[in-house]
Amino acid sequence: MMRTIEALSLCVSAGPRQLLDDVSLSALPGETIALVGPNGAGKSTLLRTLAGEIVPSRGRVRLKGRDLRACRADLLARQRAVLPQSVATAFPFTVREIVGMSLDGLGVRTAGAWVEAALAEVDLDGFQDRSIDRLSIGERQRVHFARVLVQLAYGESREGPGLLLLDEPTSSLDLKHQLGVIAAARRRAANGTTVIAVLHDFNLAALFARRVIVLRNGRTIADGPPPQTITDSVLGETFGVFSAVNRVPTGATPFVLPQTAVLTP
Amino acid sequence: MFAMTQDPARRGPTSVRAGRSRPRLLRSWLLPGLVLALLAIMIAAAALGPVGLSPTRIAAALGLAAGDADPAMLDRDRLVLWSIRLPRIATAALVGSLLAAGGAVMQGLFRNPLADPALVGVASGGALAAAAVIVTGDRLLGGQNGELPAGFLPLAAFGGALGATSILYRIATRRGRTSMAVFLLAGLAVAALANAGLGLLVLLADDRQLRDVTFWLLGSLNGATWWKAAMLAPFPVALLISLPFLARGLDWLALGEAEAFHMGIDTERLKRLCIVLVSAMVGAAVSLAGIIAFLGIIVPHLLRLAVGPGHRLLLPASACLGAGLLLAADTCARTLAAPAEIPIGILTSLVGAPFFLAILLRQRDRFDQ
């Protein structure tokens, strides 16, 4: 099967700092990958490099077999959609305008159907005519998630399953909507979309991903299914947090309990 | 599953509060309405002046209706219309449309509703370059009678405006984010620098040059000719041609540079186009009419309040409303204190500055960061 995305020994540096140091990653259609790691580990940098936003100083990224550097921005936008950590909107667009923005050029009625479906999925039905700057931060995050879902859906309707990149998609959300976002992402993966998400919550990561990649100081520390990556030794090594990992008695899915954690081994 | 869990009780109050829905009727009739209003103002501007012309006399002089007036009066009406009023109307409308649409493009580029080309030094940069050409041009080009080659002044103004915009962009934008405070402060500094340069040029200038330079400082549409109006005409056309790309790009850019790229636009190309377009539009307007402030900020602001910030409608509507407002202002400027003429830059600032303060007062929360 052709890999959706294939990144080979990526290096990214900003001045003297090495943000990514020889990171490789490839993913198959339908795969769900969580990127975890301490603050400043290079998770967002990796995501933005995969998105084509950052050009690596070494290494290369292929999206569905094509080198990213050879891809025009508009063609790229049909193959992958990106949810950034936060979006500051300069002008008071309405929710409907923002969610349908990537459908520019499509007829109003066609675009409207995509927009309504995405808004329903993020539980923002009825918010269509609200101005984005009147919403709470969590609501805004869901608006932009809906916008990204619309772009992805439209791209996939023309080019087949693509790539969904999410940078901390649940950071401002309440529990219900955290679960909603994870469920929506998993539904996309079930249809063949490759989903890569930066997550800080290990429990959400274990719920969402079949594969967890642990980054520290721009390097890959661990890469594998949650039971092998969310372990006391990995968490101790990367975060300096010990004895936090527990397991559900019946299954192998690990969960992290802050109450049991200690900061020294 | 997610959609099913929605709390139905929530939809009631939400849809009531959603009263901010954009009035669809207003959106679809805005452009035709603005064009009609512009035409009405044009007729009024043609009629008003030292020689009052009734609509029937205008129609007769334009050859649209058979006039029953005596031939001598018809000839005089024709002269007044074709060589004085109509070129001035065309110039005022074009300058107004360039300033307002240029302001809208600039606000989109800098992601900042407070960006006005005349306030942040773009117009001053253009005026400085134009004034430098006026003062040094005689000597450099060896013209004895002080006549510069046609088109030279607008070209210089474009260069000056381009320089100012590029400097501002480089300073105020880092990693695709524009800081509102840095942008406005940098704009103040650029404007101060350009004005200092203008002051130096005034010292160097002789009497005739001084008169010409003063014209830039105050802004005026006096002395408009068909030739000058024709020089401005290509810019609205360029705006119209680039509108689909520009409108989509500026809408996306409102979410951020990275986001615009994610949605599929070549942001470098978009920014270059915007910088060149703003500089060309503002430079051309400045070279003909001097510095006219506030039009570029008030017009897009009013339109955003009325029909929302989408640039597909905002840009052409700004051009129309800007044309109408500047034409109305110019007509006031030349008739209120007749036979004297109020410099239009003074008039627009008199009206525009309090209006700008009112915007700030109403929207302080939005601009706080």
* A residues 19-38 lying closer than 8 A (beta carbon) to B: none
Using the Cβ of A82 and the Cβ atoms of chain B, whether some distance falls under 8 Å is answered with yes
Residue A230 domain flag: yes
What's the pLDDT tens digit per position in B172-204?
Answer: 877 666 676 788 888 889 889 988 998 888 888
- Cβ-nearest to B264 among A48, A76, A89: A76
Which residues of B lie closer than 8 Å to A, measured between beta carbons? 1-3, 5-6, 10-11, 14-15, 17-18, 20-22, 108, 111-113, 177, 248, 251-256, 258-259, 261-267, 304, 308-310, 366
User: How large is the average pLDDT for residues A102-125?
Assistant: 86
Provide the CATH number for the domain around residue A129. 3.40.50.300
pLDDT for the residue numbered B310: 93
User: How large is the average pLDDT for residues A47-54?
Assistant: 94
- Of the ranges A162-171, B58-67, B167-176, B340-349, the best mean pLDDT one: A162-171
pLDDT for the residue numbered B345: 84
> At B2, is the pLDDT very low, low, confident or very high (cuts 50, 70, 90)?
very low
Residue B55 domain flag: no
List the single range of A63-77, A222-236, B12-26 with lowest mean pLDDT.
B12-26
Rounded to the nearest integer, the mean pLDDT of chain B is: 83
| Cβ within 8 Å, pair A93-B254 | yes
Smallest CA–CA distance from A81 into chain B, residue? B262
Identify from A94, A96, A104 which residue to disrupt to test chain B contact, counting B C-beta atoms within 10 A and taking the largest count: A104
> At B356, is the pLDDT very low, low, confident or very high (cuts 50, 70, 90)?
confident
> At B367, is the pLDDT very low, low, confident or very high (cuts 50, 70, 90)?
low
* Structural domain boundaries enclosing A11: 5-260
pLDDT for the residue numbered B9: 38
* A residues 152-191 lying closer than 8 A (beta carbon) to B: 176, 180, 183-184
Q: What percent of chain A has pLDDT above 90?
A: 75
Q: Does the pLDDT of residue B243 top 60, yes or no?
A: yes
pLDDT for the residue numbered B155: 85
Using the Cβ of A56 and the Cβ atoms of chain B, whether some distance falls under 8 Å is answered with no
Rounded to the nearest integer, the mean pLDDT of chain A is: 91
User: How large is the average pLDDT for residues B20-30?
Assistant: 76
Residue A265 domain flag: no
Q: Is the pTM of this model over 0.90?
A: no
Residue B19 domain flag: no
Identify from A91, A95, A121, A125 which residue to disrupt to test chain B contact, counting B C-beta atoms within 10 A and taking the largest count: A91
Size of interface A-B (CB pairs under 8 A): 115
Using the Cβ of A219 and the Cβ atoms of chain B, whether some distance falls under 8 Å is answered with no
Residue B24 domain flag: no
User: How large is the average pLDDT for residues B253-275?
Assistant: 91
Residue B69 domain flag: no
pLDDT for the residue numbered B15: 37
pLDDT for the residue numbered A247: 79
- Cβ-nearest to A131 among B20, B252, B255: B20
d(CA B252, CA B264): 9
| Cβ within 8 Å, pair B2-A82 | no
User: How large is the average pLDDT for residues B235-263?
Assistant: 93
Q: How far is B244 from chain A (nearest CA, A)?
A: 9
> At B10, is the pLDDT very low, low, confident or very high (cuts 50, 70, 90)?
very low
**Count of structural domains within chain A:** 1
User: How large is the average pLDDT for residues B70-88?
Assistant: 86
| Cβ within 8 Å, pair A48-B255 | no
Q: How far is A37 from chain B (nearest CA, A)?
A: 23
| Cβ within 8 Å, pair B20-A183 | no
Chain B residues with CB-CB distance to A144 below 8 A: 255
Work out the angle between the directed axes of helices B295-307 and B311-335 (0-180°, nearest 10). Answer: 130
- Cβ-nearest to B11 among A75, A87, A125: A125
Smallest CA–CA distance from B248 into chain A, residue? A104
Query: Tell me, what's the ipTM?
Result: 0.93
Residue A67 domain flag: yes
Residue B320 domain flag: yes
- Listed in sequence order, the DSSP H helices in chain A are 43-50, 73-79, 95-99, 108-121, 137-159, 175-190, 202-208, 226-229, 232-239
pLDDT for the residue numbered B268: 86
* Structural domain boundaries enclosing B158: 94-362
Residue B73 domain flag: no
Provide the CATH number for the domain around residue B160. 1.10.3470.10
Amino acid identity at B80:
V
- Listed in sequence order, the DSSP H helices in A40-136 are 43-50, 73-79, 95-99, 108-121
Chain A residues with CB-CB distance to B253 below 8 A: 90
List the single range of A178-187, B70-79, B240-249 with lowest mean pLDDT.
B70-79
| Cβ within 8 Å, pair A87-B255 | yes
Q: How far is B325 from chain A (nearest CA, A)?
A: 24
**Count of structural domains within chain B:** 1
| Cβ within 8 Å, pair A74-B265 | yes
